[in-house]
A and B are shown apart, each in its own frame.
Chain A
Amino acid sequence: DAKTTQPPSMDCAEGRAANLPCNHSTISGNEYVYWYRQIHSQGPQYIIHGLKNNETNEMASLIITEDRKSSTLILPHATLRDTAVYYCIVRGPNDYKLSFGAGTTVTVRA
């Protein structure tokens, strides 16, 4: 019952920006978009989240389209340590859990 669609994999060159797309065409008005990542069987790590506006923190930027049906996570300067599975998750205020889909396997190459 995943509410998001992500490409299964993508490659990125070290030092370049990585742009990770996510489609969430059925998102409701009160649902947030969250991004987590999981580095090789470690526990998932929170990256960023947003509702309508674009968001930026020390790890990444989140760009949400005006119709909110898709978003892009931007890693501005990818490093080899950013190689991970990235999960885009839609969650509403009454959702008690995060529902993880298959995510995007991002490989950063030197």
Chain B
Amino acid sequence: DSGVTQTPKHLITATGQRVTLRCSPRSGDLSVYWYQQSLDQGLQFLIQYYNGEERAKGNILERFSAQQFPDLHSELNLSSLELGDSALYFCASSVAPVQDVNTGELFFGEGSRLTVL
């Protein structure tokens, strides 16, 4: 158990809909990262927040947005869903805005599996 909690674990929805994925980081971790893993793309970095502020952006679509709240949990909002958005969405957390170079560790949750029909 990494200490990172993601909900829901599974989600099935239709094209055009909107969903919200939630992530609770490990206690004390200030950084949250979102990754998308689809069958043909591998693990793709989407976005990172540190203590409520966006710090880095990857290949995140304009239809997707995220935020980190004062209690440090984060939400990833996916709208106007398309079939191609079906994927595993992972959240990870770490203490520092950059990975702690002394441990180099990101702690990943078990993911939210999104299926768009």
Residues of B within 8 A of A95 (CB): 98
Q: Which residues of B contact A87 (CB under 8 A)?
A: 43
A99 to B99 CA separation, bound complex (whole angstroms): 13
A32: B residues at CB distance < 8 A: 101, 104
The docked-state distance in angstroms from the alpha carbon of A100 to that of B42 is 8
- Nearest chain A CB to B40's CB is how many angstroms away? 11
Say yes or no: A91 contacts B111, CB within 8 Å: no
Q: Across the interface, name the chain A residue whose C-beta is closest to B44.
A: A100
Partner of B98 from the list A34, A41, A96 (CB cut-off 8 Å) is A96
How many B residues are at the interface, by size bracket?
A: 20 to 34
- Most A CB within 10 A of own CB, among B55, B92, B113: B92
- Give the distance to chain A from B100, nearest Cβ to Cβ, in Å: 11
Residues of A contacting B44 in the complex (Cβ-Cβ under 8 angstroms):
100
Is A110 interfacial (CB 8 A cutoff)?
no
Chain B residues touching A, majority SS: strand
Is there an interface contact between A97 and B45, defined as CB atoms closer than 8 Å? yes
A36, chain B: closest CB distance, angstroms: 8
Which one, A7-15, A20-28, A44-52, A71-79, is touching chain B? A44-52
Closest to B98 in A: A96
A71-110 vs B: 1/0 string, CB under 8 Å? 0000000000000000100010111111111110000000
Q: List 13 A-B contacts (CB under 8 A).
A: A41-B113, A42-B110, A43-B108, A43-B111, A44-B43, A45-B108, A46-B104, A94-B98, A97-B45, A98-B99, A100-B35, A101-B42, A102-B42
Given contacts A44-B106, A96-B55, A100-B42, 12 further A-B contacts (CB under 8 A): A41-B37, A43-B111, A44-B108, A46-B104, A46-B105, A49-B104, A87-B43, A95-B98, A97-B33, A97-B48, A100-B35, A102-B42
Chain B residues in the interface with A (C-beta under 8 A)? 2, 4, 33, 35, 37, 42-45, 48, 55-56, 58, 88, 90, 92, 97-99, 101, 104-111, 113
